[in-house]
Structure 1
Amino acid sequence: MPELTTLGKAIGAGFAMVGALGPGIGIGLLVQGALQAIGRNPDASGNIQTNMILGIVFAEAVAIYCLVVALIILFVLQ
Structure 2
Amino acid sequence: MTTQTSVPPGESPPECSYCGQPFSHEEYLVLHRGLEHGDELDDDEVSAFHEAYEEETEEMRLFRLKVLAVLVLLYFGFLFTYSIVA
When normalised by structure 2's length, the TM-score is 0.40
More contact order relative to length (CA 8 Å, sep ≥ 6): 1
TM normalised by structure 1 equals 0.44
Decide which structure has the larger Cα Rg and report it: 2
